[in-house]
Every structure is written in structure tokens, then in C-alpha cells.
Amino acid sequence: MKIAAIPRALACAASVLLALQGTAHAQSDWPNKPVRIIAAFAPGGSSDLVARQLAQHLSTRYGQQFIVENRPGAGGNIGVTFVAKAVPDGYTLGLGTSGPLANNKSLYNPMPFNAEKDLTPIALVGEIPLLIAVNPSVKATSLSELVSLSKTGTNVLSFAHPGNGTIGHLGIEYMRINSGARLLSIPYKGDAPAMTDAIAGSTSGVSAPVTSLIPNVQAGKLRALAVTSKARFAGLPNVPTANEQGVKLEATVWSAMVGPAGLPKSIVTSLNDEINKYTNSTEGKAKLASLGMASLAGTPAQLSALMATEAKKWKQVVESAKISVE
């Protein structure tokens, strides 16, 4: 190397070092301005309210504002797409659900983002199971009895659900495929009209998130047969899970925090730790339970694995049942 070239090489190395130091300082100084949490659904819903709970907790813990911004539409895809395209500096995060983070991959073509490549998993937050309930006139008091009843004679039991591609729809189709039950799924535009027709007897029953059905179950207008989580739901402790009754079915709406791909590991680790502290705390569990949600916790790797597993599971159901949201 020529002597004259040495100063230039040293200068170049120094500039690279300074750039790296600047990046490291920016990460260690995070957050030094307000952070946006993109809620992928409309204000007032459970996803929005969970995002606001987390925003309040994180604002307190970090001493910096975490502000919820709603970007609903396309089953949560619009909000999560915004996160996927954001600069990975820790100032744009997203609170998504199992829809845009896993299930929608098989329902929307094309998908506006690739969950595995365009997002950084941060932390699981909680889940809401389905409730399988029937009109009281239906002669079944358990899910196993319902499956047997559907196979008797010419019986085909109709089940209302909140719409094509929703977890209520996917859950019924999963049960039909795996148990051989003769079930006809009927789509509605939301939980309320699906529930109303099940109460009226226009359909045999309804499959929808448990929170929307509890009041009418408690009033005796619907008979609860099963929840679809691994463990029983705290709000209906006497209702067994589907698995307890020998009917293979786990289907929940889970929520999780994500960021754009390339989010610095230090920020991911810090956020994961704080969110886990919240979901494991007595206060956090109680606040999530007030929304009908069971708290969850775990590592970013566990969230990543869940996203992949759920996407594969529901892809098989979507293809077998020929489900379309178009």
C-alpha cells in the first residue's frame, strides 16, 4: 500500500466506526420520541383496546408516549402492511391478530406483505377462544353429542358464524373436516346477526368469539357446548373445552406485537421483556380478562413459530373447504 493511501484508509475506517457508534447510541437511547402502535382494527374493538392497554403500560415504563393509531381494513391487512413498510427504528410497532399474522395468508391473494419476511415478531399478548353454542331446542348438551346428532338420519346442523374466513368460520370447518360431523356453515356480517339468528332458531347454533356470546348463554338463550382453547375459559368455567370432549378443535383469536423486519434486537428484547411483565402481572391479567382475553407470554421465537404453525394449519382448512373472502 502506498503511504499516501494510508490516511485515506484510516479516514474511511474511522467514518464506518463513527456510523456504527451512532447506530448503537440511537438504539441504546430508544425511545427518545413518541412511538406509534398501529392497531389493525377499528376503534372500540378488543384489538384496539388491547393496544391501548399496552400503550399505557409502555408509556409508563419507558417514560415516553406510545400512541395508538388505528388503520383498519382488509381483515387487518392494511394496518399490518403499514407496519411492514415502516422504517425499522422502533418508532412504528403493530398490534396484530392471528388474522393478518397467520390466517389471511391463505385467504387473500395476493397478500400485501409476507409475515415471515417483512415482520419482526416481538411478543404474544393474549387470546380469545371461540364458543360453540346451540339453540336450546337442539338435542345436544355436549360437543360430542352434537357431532353424533349430526350423523343421525338426515340431520345437517347449520351454524352461523361472523363471516367468511373469520375464526368462527374456520373453527366450524375444522371440526367438520376432522370429526366427520355434518355441519353447514352460514356466513353473517358480524357476531351480532349470527348470534341473533341462532337465538331465533333460524340456525342450529353459532360459532363466534366467546366474549360476544356470554350474555346470552348466561341468560339461557343459547346453550354453550364448548370453548376452543387449550384450557377452560375463566368467564365460563363450567364449559369444557372441545378437546376435553374428545373433539379435536383449538381455534382462538390471538393478539401479538410485531414490528417491521430488521428491528434491532436490543429493542425487540426490551419490548418483549416489558410486554411479558404486563401479561404475567396480576394487573395485566385482570385488564385483559375484562376484554374476555386470556393473557399469553413468550419469546419472539415462540411467536414466530406460532405464526408459521397457524398459517399452515388454517391453510389446509381453507383449501379443503374452498373458503374465499372475495
Domain end marker among 192, 219, 245: 245
Give the DSSP letter of residue 3.
T
Q: Do 238 and 257 reside in the same domain of the chain?
A: no
Q: Do 283 and 294 reside in the same domain of the chain?
A: yes
- Find the DSSP H helices in 63-166: 77-84, 98, 104-107, 115-118, 143-150
In a domain, residue 10? The reply is no
State the pLDDT at residue 17.
Answer: 46
Q: Do 48 and 37 reside in the same domain of the chain?
A: yes
Domain end marker among 194, 223, 245: 245
Residue 23 has pLDDT above 90, yes or no: no
Q: Do 134 and 186 reside in the same domain of the chain?
A: yes
Q: Do 150 and 90 reside in the same domain of the chain?
A: no
Determine which helix (DSSP H) or strand (DSSP E) holds 169, and give its type and residue range. Answer: helix 167-179
State the pLDDT at residue 8.
Answer: 54
pLDDT in tens, 66-79: 999 999 999 999 99
Determine which helix (DSSP H) or strand (DSSP E) holds 93, and give its type and residue range. Answer: strand 92-97
pLDDT in tens, 217-244: 999 999 999 999 999 999 999 999 999 9
User: Which residue has 356453515 as its cell numbers?
Assistant: 185
Q: How far is C-alpha 122 from the geometric centre of its chain's CA atoms?
A: 13
Residue 247 has pLDDT above 60, yes or no: yes
Q: Do 212 and 307 reside in the same domain of the chain?
A: no
Domain end marker among 196, 213, 245: 245
Q: Are strands 294-295 and 119-134 parallel, antiparallel or unpaired?
A: antiparallel
User: Which residue has 342450529 as its cell numbers?
Assistant: 204
Q: Are strands 119-134 and 35-39 parallel, antiparallel or unpaired?
A: unpaired
In a domain, residue 273? The reply is yes
In a domain, residue 201? The reply is yes
Which residue range(s) make up the domain with 75? 30-127+253-321
Q: Do 153 and 214 reside in the same domain of the chain?
A: yes
In a domain, residue 271? The reply is yes
Give CA–CA dist 189/304, Å, rounded. 31
Q: Do 153 and 237 reside in the same domain of the chain?
A: yes
In a domain, residue 184? The reply is yes
State the pLDDT at residue 270.
Answer: 98
Q: 153: buried, middle or exposed (CB in 10 Å: 19+, 13-18, 0-12)?
A: exposed
β-sheet bridge partners, residue 179: none
State the pLDDT at residue 26.
Answer: 46
Give CA–CA dist 185/78, Å, rounded. 27
pLDDT band at 153 (very low <50, low <70, confident <90, very high): confident
Provide the domain count of the chain. Answer: 2
pLDDT in tens, 184-206: 999 999 999 999 999 999 999 99
In a domain, residue 23? The reply is no
Q: Do 50 and 158 reside in the same domain of the chain?
A: no
pLDDT over 90, % of the chain: 89
**Residue 194, number of CB atoms within 10 A of its CB:** 28
Q: How many Cα atoms sit within 13 Å of 295 on the Cβ side?
A: 19
In a domain, residue 8? The reply is no
Q: Do 123 and 145 reside in the same domain of the chain?
A: no
pLDDT in tens, 277-324: 999 999 999 999 999 999 999 999 999 999 999 999 999 999 999 999
Q: Do 118 and 135 reside in the same domain of the chain?
A: no
CATH number at 153 reads 3.40.190.10
Give the DSSP letter of residue 241.
B
CATH number at 110 reads 3.40.190.150
Tell me the angle at which helices 265-280 and 46-62 cross, rounded to the nearest 10 degrees.
110
pLDDT in tens, 83-123: 999 999 999 999 999 999 999 999 999 999 999 999 999 99
Residue 19 has pLDDT above 90, yes or no: no
Helix or strand or coil: residue 18? helix
In a domain, residue 18? The reply is no
Question: What mean pLDDT value characterizes the chain?
Answer: 92
Q: Do 210 and 316 reside in the same domain of the chain?
A: no
